Structure 1
């Protein structure tokens, strides 16, 4: 006589279906010594019920006019505990993969990022991976994992828009580098790298629209200026020109 699902939250409330024979007129379903609620005799071979609260493994029995069945095992599962995300931010468009660590994750069926939910891949009881769904807008959202034991919140993930570059000032400097440059644009708060002709440059984030950087050494001519954040990269083609120094 199988039961499906055969596990549920320690807090109870799991709807289960029990199949067997001679179930007509079922009067009670017990989880261990606790009676289930919402017992419904669907057919002579099927009964549905809602589990009470409990812990560990218990035997589930069905009582009908002909007597009480043999017990079948049901396992109570605690709510998951999440300790962290390996990546805490990403593009508003979603699509990047995040690994969530914690305990009690082996029965995970869904991960919610704000109002949007994705189906995870269970790696172990302590890790799951999930492809982040698209976000409604840039900004932080709560992350919730749902398992057979219930749901648990407490983590945060930040959606980030792709940066843009509107201006690079000044637009030229010596090939020796060392020019202090102001880059203006949008979505610059989480800037992770600035490059001149693909060479990384030291930088400081001023605010959401301004980043300051110092040019590295380069060769004569116009070069592309790149700016990256966890959502992507903006490139201003030929935005800075390296100029040769005077010779005598």
Structure 2
């Protein structure tokens, strides 16, 4: 007498289908010592029922006026617990793979990112991998994992759009570096790096539209300024000019 699915939440509520013979007059389905609810005779060979709450492994039996069936095992699974996201932000377009760690993840069937569902790859009971789906808009969304034991929320993932450079001020400074520069634009609050002709510059995020940057040393002439975040980068070609000092 097979049962499907063979596992469900400790809180109950799992709809199961039991197949066998002579099931037409089923009057009870018992999980361990607890009766199931919503018992429905589908056909002489099939019954559906909603599992009660429980723990561990229990035997499921079907009773008819003719007697009680042999038990088949049903496994109760606790709700998953998520402890961390391997990466907490990424491009609005999605497509990047991240790892979720926790416990009770071995039966994970879906991961929800702000209402958009992705199918995970289970690595172990404590780890799964998932490709992040595209987001609807930049900003944080809640992340939930659904397993046979239920759904657990509590983590957040931030979708990030590509940065844009609007203005750079001042636009020139000495080749020795050290010039305090303000960069304005959009989506700058998740900036990972700022470079001047490929050389990393120290920076501070003021807000989503403003960066405070100190120029690194450079070679006399125009330098490309690149701002990068988890989604991508924007380049101001020749956006800053290095000026050589006088010589005697």
Q: TM-score range by the shorter chain?
A: over 0.9
* Alpha-carbon distance between aligned partners in 2 of 1:38 and 1:126, rounded to the nearest angstrom: 34
Count of paired positions:
248
Report the CA distance between 1:88 and its aligned residue. 1.0
Q: Unaligned 5+ residue runs, structure 1?
A: none
Q: In the alignment, which residue of structure 2 is the partner of 1:56? A: 56
Report the CA distance between 1:220 and its aligned residue. 2.1
1:1-248 to 2 correspondence within 5 Å? 1-248=1-248
* Alpha-carbon distance between aligned partners in 2 of 1:45 and 1:70, rounded to the nearest angstrom: 15
Deviating 4+ runs (over 3 angstroms): none
* Alpha-carbon distance between aligned partners in 2 of 1:60 and 1:80, rounded to the nearest angstrom: 24
* Alpha-carbon distance between aligned partners in 2 of 1:172 and 1:220, rounded to the nearest angstrom: 10
SS at match of 1:162: coil
Report the CA distance between 1:66 and its aligned residue. 2.4
Report the CA distance between 1:187 and its aligned residue. 0.9
> Is the deviation greater in 236-245 or in 29-38?
236-245
* Alpha-carbon distance between aligned partners in 2 of 1:31 and 1:215, rounded to the nearest angstrom: 70
Report the CA distance between 1:184 and its aligned residue. 0.8
For normalisation by structure 2, the TM-score amounts to: 0.96
Q: Per-residue CA shift, 1:7-46, capped at 9, x if unaligned?
A: 0001111011111122121111110111111111111211
Report the CA distance between 1:85 and its aligned residue. 0.8
* Alpha-carbon distance between aligned partners in 2 of 1:217 and 1:12, rounded to the nearest angstrom: 65
Q: Unaligned 5+ residue runs, structure 2?
A: none
For normalisation by structure 1, the TM-score amounts to: 0.96
Q: Per-residue CA shift, 1:118-175, capped at 9, x if unaligned?
A: 1111110001111111222222211111110001111111122211001111112222
